[in-house]
Amino acid sequence: MRHLPQPLRRGATTLHIWHEKIYPDQKLSPEIARHKDQFDAISPGDCFDFAQLYWKKVGQELLIAINEDLHLHLEDGYCPYGPKDIQTAVAHDAKLVRFSFFKAPITNTIPHKAITLVDAYNYIRGDYARKETAELRSFTDIKRARLYKRTHFHYCTFSGTFSSRADSALIEHSGLLCVDFDHIREWQALHDALLSDEYFATQLLFRSPSGDGIKWIIPINLAEMPHEDYFYAVSAYCQATYGYEPDKNCKDVSRACFLPFDPDVYINPELLLSHE
């Protein structure tokens, strides 16, 4: 809860404002701002009730005033309040969303270049890692497989561009989160469910190098909460919805993701259109 100056009481700091979930039973419910004046100078209510007092308008006239004064451009067909609309807007243009690409081995922490989701998609479905992926999946010794992956696979940091692979070396966040599911029993079922997820617009989805995991790349809105907090919220949502807990290391903004061969890799079709 925040205590702010009350514009309707000559700036006195008596206005209490807080956020609460619109749908309390949902993990990632959209929220709405509510208010209460300490001395009941105005009636308690939500942000739209307060807007009526401020603009002295109601109904459609109020919405028009909000749209014009806050430059929302709703007349252009963009609404910032739809769960997937917000996320797609963060990463809808592949030419703008970039992240660092590193050459193997994993001990190389200096990026080779910055790439886009379309670049990653073309790499994964191409022949670049076909041989390495087949060899890795032929191993039965876990330690040998882990060492092979760390020394033979190129990788990227989906959450941003870096001067070196470290959280402290972040140059710019991409607005993306890589959610890593390991050791999936029913791979196809989870794959299809993630593509149909009600709240997250999948940007990229592919099988892990080992073949028994899934990499789910989704857009996040850092204006809502920091990267790490967003991961924990998504993790709780995935456990409650799908029964799988993502790899906890995904909380790190510099989390490395190995790029395998997967001819069935999925990409948001809008990204391919924007790249033409």
pLDDT tens digits for 99-118?
A: 999 999 999 999 999 999 99
Residue 32: what residue type?
A: I
Give φ, ψ of 257 to 5 degrees.
Answer: -130, 115
pLDDT tens digits for 201-215?
A: 899 999 999 999 999
The helix/strand count (H/E) of the chain reads as 9, 14
The SS3 of residue 46 is strand
CA dist 28 and 220 (Å) reads 12
Structure tokens belonging to residue 209: 């190098």
Structure tokens belonging to residue 19: 């956020």
- CA angle 20–225–86, rounded 5-degree value: 80
The SS3 of residue 206 is strand
pLDDT tens digits for 20-76?
A: 765 565 554 456 777 787 777 777 877 777 777 777 776 556 667 776 776 655 544
Residue 256 has a pLDDT of: 97
Residue 79 has a pLDDT of: 43
Pairing relationship of beta strands 31-37 and 12-21 according to DSSP bridges: antiparallel
